[in-house]
Amino acid sequence: MIDLLIEKIKKTENPAVAGLDPVIEMIPAYIKKQMFEIYGKTPEAAGAMFTEFNKAIIDAIYDLVPAVKPQIAMYECFGLAGLASYIDTVEYAKQKGLIVIGDIKRGDIASTAEAYSAHLGGSIIEGESYDIWKEDAITINPYFGTDGIAPFVDRCKKHDKGVFVLIRTSNKSSCELQDIIAEGQPLYLHVAALVKKWGGDLIGEQGYSRIGAVVGATHKEQGIALRKQLPQTFFLVPGYGAQGGIGADLKGYFDKDGLGSIVNSSRGIIAAWQKDKELAADPDLGPEFAEASRKAVIAMRRDLQFAMEG
Amino acid sequence: MIDLLIEKIKKTENPAVAGLDPVIEMIPAYIKKQMFEIYGKTPEAAGAMFTEFNKAIIDAIYDLVPAVKPQIAMYECFGLAGLASYIDTVEYAKQKGLIVIGDIKRGDIASTAEAYSAHLGGSIIEGESYDIWKEDAITINPYFGTDGIAPFVDRCKKHDKGVFVLIRTSNKSSCELQDIIAEGQPLYLHVAALVKKWGGDLIGEQGYSRIGAVVGATHKEQGIALRKQLPQTFFLVPGYGAQGGIGADLKGYFDKDGLGSIVNSSRGIIAAWQKDKELAADPDLGPEFAEASRKAVIAMRRDLQFAMEG
């Protein structure tokens, strides 16, 4: 998985990941109208409009990005109909050749983590295998320590999947626990040491492990220091764009070959049409709304290439 | 929610919570056979058998326990069919008058936590409200700090719901991060201080907050110390039974009135029939398997009453 991700980054010359985190307010009127007409104002309508919206965006950008990252919460809040859209989105993105990182941030004790690890390779029912969720990689929470992570690591090994463990998140209050000084260094560095250990046996051909880390764009010095401390850990970097990070902040998140990080943008890519005056004002706007997402990806690639070149 | 929980504990004279965490291996043969015949060896069969199994157990114990705690991972691993069973289980338990604690351990940045908070009171679609998940309370992960918790706290206030924030989990490796010494005290005490702060505005009539905490049964001294430090925080205590905790360990987890904690047992209650030689050997075993769960709850209540009396 990690070697394939790197191959795709090289091919697209782009470390940008599109965060497929729809909310109803971002859906163009023509899709909303269609789905409300079919399903009424129901969770089924929300799910159907998210699928339609995501497909249009994927169609517009699949040749430009290595991966997409749907945030499961945006779907889970609409129950089974929402989660059906999550699954359809994962499948469609994979058909288009994209790597799919499920942003699910699960974490629990070992027996429960084993159940959650069905996201990475599926479940077995009396000898029959079902891969239902189908993500290539997921995000996970480290608070339980090694035994809560082991089932995911096993799946990464067995099914060539990946995980990104939260080290340093992009939100403001992340400092409350993650920056607290423990035994001479901030907590997130203790997590970093564990991530390094967990990933030690799963290094791919390009020198990076299937066990990656989440390192926010909003903590520049920390990100740069982590890059040096974890030379074999691939970073998933949230917080770019709407959360405030820019490409110039990310110099040092990449290695000398311009690898080592993928950078997520959600609203900045998928809601780009709402910032385009012409598209936003068009009463007859159709699927061409997604052209704004394509432009946003191209602009983001340019911004990040500057950072990748170091 | 918290006052109702306390009322139910007093009425049942029982702080035991039944963890509805089914796996296929615990399902009696008559249910498995029925569902495999209808659905084949599919996720739909797994979901249907979990619902049937849970309903039989709820029927057998609903008058004896204040609450149940389904672990969503056990359902999520079977995709939408599994999650349909989770939702059906929550609904059925509520119909029987039980409080339902969804063990979902979600946690993320604010905008995402807002989406997850649909578990506590539902989602709105163009002015129409849908309460899909219907839990009375959920478990959440503190790693993101205050801004990731705030959306859940708002829902607790608005809809009289509850959360239990992970402070000290019951698994072995929990020590790796939770016990690390930061600024003179272990990390979990920093989390405890945050939990106290988050819950300060939501104290119910009985003196306990809607913002509770997860405190494992397997760390006895820590549990007792936390009880003293957090006199207004209700504890959800995992790790009893199959994970090694016993009632005698839990003296000190309760206040002088025998309140302040609910204690979860999953396998010990729901898989009790497999430890009953007669039931386990019966080739014609039917719904009476759940009588073993009833006996297990009664034995657990006796064991915990000893601890509650202090």
SS3 call for B128:
strand
SS3 call for A43:
helix
Listed by start position, the domains of chain B span 2-308
Q: At B310, is the pLDDT very low, low, confident or very high (cuts 50, 70, 90)?
A: low
Q: Are B115 and A77 inside 8 Å of each other by CB?
A: yes
Q: What are phi and psi of A102, to 5 degrees?
A: -80, 115
pLDDT at B171: 94
Q: How far apart are the first and last CA of chain A?
A: 25
Residue in chain A nearest B173 by alpha carbon: A145
Partners of residue A146 in chain B, C-beta under 8 Å: 173, 176
Partners of residue A46 in chain B, C-beta under 8 Å: 123, 125
Residue B110 contacts A where some CB pair is shorter than 8 Å: yes
Among residues A10, A94, A96, A105, which one is catalytic? A105
Partners of residue A174 in chain B, C-beta under 8 Å: 143-145
Partners of residue B181 in chain A, C-beta under 8 Å: 182-183
Mutate to test the interface with B, among A42, A44, A109 (most CBs of B within 10 A): A109
pLDDT at B249: 85
**Alpha-carbon span A48 to A53, nearest angstrom:** 9
Q: Express each pLDDT in B170-228 by its tens digit.
A: 999 999 999 999 999 999 999 999 999 999 999 999 999 999 999 999 899 999 999 99
Partners of residue A105 in chain B, C-beta under 8 Å: 106-108, 141
pLDDT at A192: 98
Residue B172 contacts A where some CB pair is shorter than 8 Å: yes
Residue A198 contacts B where some CB pair is shorter than 8 Å: no
Partners of residue B175 in chain A, C-beta under 8 Å: 145
**Alpha-carbon span A191 to B147, nearest angstrom:** 21
Q: Are A177 and B171 inside 8 Å of each other by CB?
A: no
Told to judge if B105 belongs to the known catalytic residues of this protein, a careful annotator would answer yes
Q: Are B116 and A73 inside 8 Å of each other by CB?
A: yes
**Alpha-carbon span B173 to B170, nearest angstrom:** 9
In CATH, what number does B2-308 get?
3.20.20.70
Q: Would you tell me how many other CB atoms lie within 10 Å of the CB of residue B252?
A: 18
Residue in chain B nearest A188 by alpha carbon: B177
Partners of residue A24 in chain B, C-beta under 8 Å: 125-126
Q: Express each pLDDT in A186-235 by its tens digit.
A: 999 999 999 999 999 999 999 999 999 999 998 999 999 999 999 999 99
Mean pLDDT of B26-46: 98
Q: How far apart are the first and last CA of chain B?
A: 25
Q: Are A130 and B73 inside 8 Å of each other by CB?
A: no
CA distances from A29 to A5, A35, A275, B28 (A): 35, 10, 15, 51
Partners of residue A143 in chain B, C-beta under 8 Å: 141-143, 166, 169, 174, 177-178
Considering only CB atoms, B123 lies closest to which of A78, A109, A128, namely: A78
Residue B177 contacts A where some CB pair is shorter than 8 Å: yes
Residue in chain A nearest B239 by alpha carbon: A109
SS3 call for A11:
helix
**Alpha-carbon span A143 to B109, nearest angstrom:** 16
> Which letter does DSSP use for residue B18 in this model?
E
B16-18 and B261-265: which strand pairing? parallel
- Please give the full DSSP string across A68-96, using - where no structure is assigned: E--BTHHHHTTHHHHHHHHHHHHHHHHHT
Residue in chain B nearest A74 by alpha carbon: B115
**Alpha-carbon span B200 to B238, nearest angstrom:** 24
pLDDT at A55: 98
Dig out the tokens for B122 from the structure: 């539902």
Dig out the tokens for A112 from the structure: 């429960």
**Contacts for B85 with CB less than 8 Å, ≥ 6 apart:** B46, B47, B48, B50, B51, B54, B75, B78
SS3 call for B185:
strand
pLDDT at B53 over 80: yes
SS3 call for A235:
strand
Residue spans of beta strands (DSSP E) within chain A: 16-18, 67-68, 99-106, 123-125, 128-130, 137-140, 162-168, 181-182, 185-186, 211-215, 235-237, 261-265
**Alpha-carbon span A140 to A266, nearest angstrom:** 19
- 10 Å CB burial of residue A167 (0-12, 13-18, 19+) is buried
**Contacts for B77 with CB less than 8 Å, ≥ 6 apart:** A115, A116, A118, A123
Residue A193 contacts B where some CB pair is shorter than 8 Å: no
Q: Are B80 and A83 inside 8 Å of each other by CB?
A: yes
Q: What are phi and psi of B300, to 5 degrees?
A: -65, -40
Residue A226 contacts B where some CB pair is shorter than 8 Å: no
Mean pLDDT of B2-7: 98
- Please give the full DSSP string across A133-192, using - where no structure is assigned: S--SEEEE--TT-HHHHHHHHHHHHHHT-EEEEEEE-SSGGGHHHHT-EETTEEHHHHHH
Q: Are A80 and B78 inside 8 Å of each other by CB?
A: no
Q: Are A80 and B87 inside 8 Å of each other by CB?
A: yes
**Alpha-carbon span B114 to B131, nearest angstrom:** 14
Q: Would you tell me how many other CB atoms lie within 10 Å of the CB of residue A34?
A: 14
Q: Are B41 and A145 inside 8 Å of each other by CB?
A: no
Q: Express each pLDDT in A73-111 by its tens digit.
A: 999 999 999 999 999 999 999 999 999 999 999 999 999
Chain A, 125 to 154: residues with Cβ < 8 Å from chain B are 125-128, 130, 132-133, 141-148
Dig out the tokens for B277 from the structure: 């030689």
Dig out the tokens for B3 from the structure: 């006052």
Residue in chain A nearest B108 by alpha carbon: A105
pLDDT at A310: 62
CB-defined contacts A:B, below 8 A: 206
| Crossing angle for the helix pair B43-61 and B291-308, to the nearest 10 degrees | 60
Partners of residue A79 in chain B, C-beta under 8 Å: 87, 130, 132-133
**Contacts for B44 with CB less than 8 Å, ≥ 6 apart:** B81
**Within its chain, how far is the Cα of B86 from the centroid?**
13
- 10-residue mean pLDDT series, chain A (310 residues): 97 97 98 98 98 98 98 98 98 98 97 98 96 98 98 98 97 96 96 98 97 95 95 96 79 94 97 97 96 97 87
Residue A124 contacts B where some CB pair is shorter than 8 Å: no
Considering only CB atoms, A171 lies closest to which of B36, B144, B169, namely: B144
pTM: 0.97
